[in-house]
Amino acid sequence: MRERRRRETHDRIVDAAAELFAERGFDAVSVVEIAQRAGVVEKTVFNHFPVKEGLVLAADPPMRTALLDAVATRPAGESVAAAAGTFVVRAMSMLGTPEAAEGVAAMAQVVRGSRTLQAREREILGELTAALAAQIRAETGAGDGAVEPELTAAAVTALYGRLLELARDRVLAGVTGPELAEELRTAGRRGLSLLQFGLAGYAKRR
């Protein structure tokens, strides 16, 4: 019963925050206002979300665990870039589902309207890059001077970040469903090709 009440309170806070952010933008809304809209005190909001940014961006997104698991469980003979890149493309393509469109659009508007959230999103992407690089370094036994783990991880998360922004651009332009999913898959596969086969043949000067 206690856990159910906590979950209900959590959901009320999230819903209230989403409404206010959609109305006025993230930076213009205070935690006090969110608490009032949700029917709770300010302390309750902070009990559920220690920082305001957590109402929009999860500090430890599920994407991180799933990505690291895809790399850890890849079959023999498959590279980190192939496993991680394939996972990213598949995950981002899911943003083309009809049920995802409204959420992607709402997130895009809130994040793009807030420098605070944009900075936090970059931090989260950096944390994801560091976690993947650490896993690659541990698996390969790379020395302290090796640059490959960080370069590989940065390339994978750059693909993730670019596909996310592409999804936001297209959803805000009214593109959703199978059309968006196909656009994301096509762009993702081009990026994945660069990850797997390198940049040597790309953008050669003519």
Domain ranges of the chain: 2-55, 62-197
Please tell me the distance from the alpha carbon of residue 187 to that of residue 85, in angstroms, as a whole number.
12
Residues in the chain: 206
Token pair 């959609």 is at which residue? Answer: 22
pLDDT band at 34 (very low <50, low <70, confident <90, very high): very high
Over range 133-158, report the average pLDDT: 92
The CATH classification number of 62-197 equals 1.10.357
pTM (two decimals)? 0.87
Lowest mean pLDDT among 16-20, 21-25, 96-100, 113-117: 96-100
Closest CA to 198 of 21, 93, 107, 79: 79
Over pLDDT 70: what percentage of the chain?
A: 96
What is the rounded CA–CA span in Å between residue 38 and residue 16? Answer: 5
Query: Identical fold at 2-55 and 62-197?
Result: no
**Mean of pLDDT values over 75-98:** 90
* Residue 42: per-residue pLDDT: 94
Are 132 and 71 spatial neighbours (Cβ–Cβ below 8 Å)? yes
Residue type present at position 170:
R
Q: Strand (E) positions, 158-202?
A: none
CATH of 2-55, one of 1.10.10.60, 3.40.50.1950, 3.90.25.10, 1.10.1840.10: 1.10.10.60
Q: Does residue 195 register a pLDDT over 90?
A: no
165: CB partners within 8 A, 6+ apart: none
DSSP secondary structure string for all residues of 49-62? -SSGGGGTS-SS-H
